[in-house]
Amino acid sequence: MTNSFNEFAKAKMLLVIGSNMTEAHPVAATFVKNAVQKGATLIVADPRKHKLVDFAHTHLPLKVGSDVALLNGLMHVLIQEDLYDSEFVETCCEGFDVLKQTVASYPPEKAGEISGIDPELIRQTARLLASVKPVMVCYTLGITEHTSGKNNVMSIANLQMLLGNMGVPCGGVNPLRGQNNVQGACDMGALPNVFPGYQPVGDLSARQKFENAWGVDRLPEKNGLMIPEMMEGLVDKMVRGFYIFGENLANTEPDIRKVEHELASAEFLVVQDIFENETTRFAHVVLPAAAWSENDGTFTNSERRVSRVRTASPAPGEARPNWWIFREIARRMGHTWESDSAKDLWDNEISVLAPNLAGIKYHRIENDGLQWPCPTESHPGTPILHLEGRFTKGKGSFMPVEWTPAAEVPDDDYPFVLSTGRRLYHYHTRTQTGNCEGLNDMLGEETADISAADAQKLNIDQNEMIRVKSRRGEVTVKARITHEVPEGLVWMAFHFREGNANWLTNPVYDPDTLTAEYKACAVSLEKIA
Amino acid sequence: MDQNRITINGHAYEFTPGQTILEVAQQNLIDIPNLCHLKGTRATGACRVCIVELEESWGRKIVSSCSAPAKNGMIVHTESPKIVAYRKFYIGLMLDSGNHNCDIGARADESWTDFQISAMENDQKEELCPVWGDCELQALAYRYQVKGRVSGRHREAVTLPIEGDNPFIIRDMSRCILCGRCVAACNEVQVNQAIDFGFRGTKEQIIAGTGTTLMNSACVFCGECVQVCPVGALVEKKALGKGRPWEVTKIRTTCPYCGVGCQQLLHVKNDTIVKVTGVEDGAPNQGRLCVKGRFGYDFIYSDKRLKTPLIREKDGFREASWEEALTLVADTFTRIIDESGPDALAGVSCARSINEDSYQMQKLFRAVFKTNNIDHCART
């Protein structure tokens, strides 16, 4: 996020796109609702009429996967009607002419045809967005989990730069990160192309810096593989040893049959986790790890805030902290690592090696955490990025993009769009929530959410078991007829093994990020009896 | 800044226009008791406990400090004899309004030294109030030495049934003092709009939906209402009987679920989390939690936890020592590197675990294995 959670409640206008915030980020949603109660205007763009729509001034029920068309349509109106922030564009941005040229071919009529939104509503929404300054844009995986995920994100950035909403309180581009420490795992360099602090592995000086710090030579310079490439590498034996730490890939990746074939092909699979799960079944060695609140450490949230995690309970049996396990493997391979606690690792290694984190030390985050960039120990942290339009790289570049459809769209055999996501009472594959008293009582099984119109057409009753099929597989699952879902859409989650949406989802990826298209594939619905 | 000064109990304080008397007092660590006030929500002035006396040119008047804005030149008394007398009366009314079996009931002549003994006395409830010792009304009754059944307005025995048909929240409206904090928490803080005041007059109570149970209302079990309830009307079911407030240590930590990073207080007794609450005024959540953050903590105590390294053997696993398991991993990875090069290894780190773990894993892959084949689920 370029901005911070404490700005949500003060915002004058919010555009929430591709984010079912009340279920996936419930506490963040409370601040959005607070803003609305204080008079803010909320615009929700989402195929579903989820709970936040109840608080919205305008709902844009766009078709799944049409985000770029809608956003380009909005920008078309902003430019055509001269409603954009020309001063910000001139002084802080570059590439406006190319943007203008691209969005010129998305008049509201065309954007409306692709997105299913009334062209007049697109015009009104564009005028609404230009009527107030600043507007805060929030998005989640509804934007990124598409083959056009990166383009979707760039469209949002284009819109916010065009409106001059960057670098100001209550503005900005704000992706709510899905998992508690997905931001931190990126910051730590658990990515194939960067060291901690986003220092490229291809950069010689960065490699030298880490070689010196770690007391090694010849750190690899070539970018590594991304998860889907690793998985495919298991089958063609390019990858022989695979180490999975705390991920239940067998349930979370698209097309479970394909994923399980890949996992089963692994020559040597190490899984380190807190529970046995669908993925440990394929392991050759399972290592028991200490869980949350069984060791000290830090998480980094969506607003780049590094906060402390503390020990409350001892780990069960022989379970050990993950960092200890990695250290022990290193030791057995001839490397002795000094750091002997999470605090050592942070204070003596991470914050020393990552310039953005240099000023964050454990003693400074005893209470509230600090937001990076925080380059020195006297720096207060950075709640808002790009202040006054000063982008990291100088001027902000418009990156105009063309709309592309989802890789798989409905046809006669598979006439419905399947989109997926998360529900309030569970988290991902329930490794944690499924083992908590009470949460299974609130939600005990998967459902396929469908519209009343489709249910009527197919003669499906509420709670009736139905079959949902895609080109990858099929599941038998309970139908949940709801006004949240428009005609033609099926919406499912992946919390349970039975009826898991990932038996159906399409293993196709954004070409740059390799993020899978969880949000769109084609399915059929069948009455069983 | 002579324009913005008030005098509280003889001392002058500066204030920011718009602040209430209560806010100015709290900012200066002056304790004005209050039961219905909930920071950040509209003042209701329902409990009357926060009343203070103002000196005006024409005499003295009483206002509720939670709703009265501070004005320049105000002279405020928070514990004048008149205020204390009224406050005791209001506290007594609340003690008499429901089942508060910590009060000393009919034995109004007894002293508070007998308080703890008499607390065990049954007052229409078989069990002791679950928040005994952690109740704001009880604390006020003790502080002002108020005994029950002195107001002369004791209501009929309150026989409302306890609602416990959900896994998380026990609602005992017989202990409710109608302060309205839960209503404000539900409607103005979390904005889930599940509960409100219902009925009128002596039958007034807090209702879920249109008079149903939480399970059948719009409630999403964030538990904010429980966190703000000053009495024993709303309590966490999972925490029941697990620990008294003075037995627990509160440990601040960060929630293990979504990317908001809510700050939690773990209430820990004997190395076990018995309850979770939000860190009031902590960033980013300002005390708020959701159902997973508040009630999704006990997975760590599951019997199904992995407790020992496992090594595959035929169709199943056998238990192994760390020494054996780690040696097997290190030896196998070394052999693969020797045979096929470092890029024949790949790893996926965890977006749920701490930064230090992800750092350590990428270091293992880069510095020891010599491959950049390290990723995590950020892209999926």
State the average pLDDT over residues B207-235. Answer: 96
Measured between beta carbons, the chain A residues lying within 8 angstroms of B39 are none
> What is the separation of C-alpha B268 from the centre of its chain, rounded to a whole number of angstroms?
14
- The topology under which CATH files domain B245-301 is N-terminal domain of TfIIb (2.20.25)
Which of A22, A144, A188 to mutate against chain B (most B CBs within 10 Å)? Answer: A188
A429-454 pLDDT, tens digit per residue, is 999 999 999 999 999 999 999 999 99
The model carries a pTM of: 0.95
Q: Does B218 touch chain A (CB under 8 A)?
A: no
Contact between A187 and A111 (Cβ < 8 Å): no
Residue type, position B306, single letter: L
Which of these three, A378, A400, A428, is where a domain ends? Answer: A378
Give the rounded percent of residues in chain A with a pLDDT score beyond 90: 97
- Cα A1 to Cα A371: distance, rounded to the nearest angstrom: 11
Work out the burial of residue B16: count CB atoms within 10 Å of its CB; fewer than 13 is exposed, 13-18 middle, 19 or more buried. Answer: exposed
User: Taking CB atoms and an 8 Å cut-off, how many pairs form between chains A and B?
Assistant: 466
Q: What confidence tier does B156 reach under pLDDT thresholds 50, 70, 90? A: low
Domain with CATH 2.20.25.90 in chain B: 245-301
Residues A160 and A213 in one domain: no
In this complex, is the C-beta atom of B305 within 8 Å of any C-beta atom belonging to chain A? Answer: yes
Interface test mutation site (partner B, options A138, A301, A352, A374, max chain B beta carbons within 10 A): A301
Element (H, E) at A129: helix A119-131
Which residue, A153, A176, A199, sits at the end of a domain?
A: A176
CA atoms within 13 A on the CB side of A20: 21
C-alpha–C-alpha distance, residues B147 and B36, integer Å? 21
Q: Are residues A171 and A186 in the same domain?
A: no
Among A330, A353, A378, residue at a domain's last position: A378
Residue A431 lies in a domain: yes
pLDDT of residue B122: 42
Is residue A213 included in any domain, yes or no?
yes
Which residue has 């998967």 as its token pair?
A: A446
Please give the CATH architecture assigned to the domain spanning B2-79.
Roll (3.10)
Mean pLDDT of A256-270: 97
Average pLDDT in the A256-281 region? 96
In this predicted structure, the answer to whether residue B1 has a pLDDT above a threshold of 50 is no
Q: What is the mean pLDDT of residues A309-332?
A: 98
Residue A30 CB partners (closer than 8 Å, separation 6+): B189, B190, B191, B288
Mean pLDDT of A418-423: 96
User: Among A15-19, A369-373, B131-135, which stretch is predicted with the lowest mean pLDDT?
Assistant: B131-135
Write out the residue range of the structural domain in which residue A126 sits.
5-176
Asked if residues A391 and A399 have their Cβ atoms less than 8 Å apart, the reply is: no
Q: Is the pLDDT of residue B271 over 50?
A: yes
E strand or H helix that includes residue A74: helix A67-80
- Give the minimum alpha-carbon distance from B68 to chain A in angstroms, rounded to a whole number: 21
Report if residue A56 sits inside a domain.
yes
- CATH value at residue A100: 3.40.228.10
- A364 and A439 in a single domain? The answer is no
Q: What is the ipTM of this complex?
A: 0.96
User: What's the confidence (pLDDT) of residue B129?
Assistant: 82
The answer on A325 and A187 residing in a single domain is yes
The per-residue pLDDT for B133 is 84
Say whether pLDDT at A21 is over 90.
yes
CATH of the domain at A509: 2.40.40.20
- At residue A107 the predicted structure's pLDDT band, cuts being 50, 70 and 90, is very high
Across A168-180, average pLDDT: 94
Same domain flag for A122 and A243: no
CA-to-CA dists, residue A81 to A111, A163, A401, A515, B323, angstroms: 16, 13, 21, 36, 70
- Interface check B185 vs A, CB under 8 A: no
A514 domain-assigned? yes
- Asked if A318 reaches chain B (Cβ–Cβ under 8 Å), the answer is yes
What confidence tier does A390 reach under pLDDT thresholds 50, 70, 90?
Answer: confident
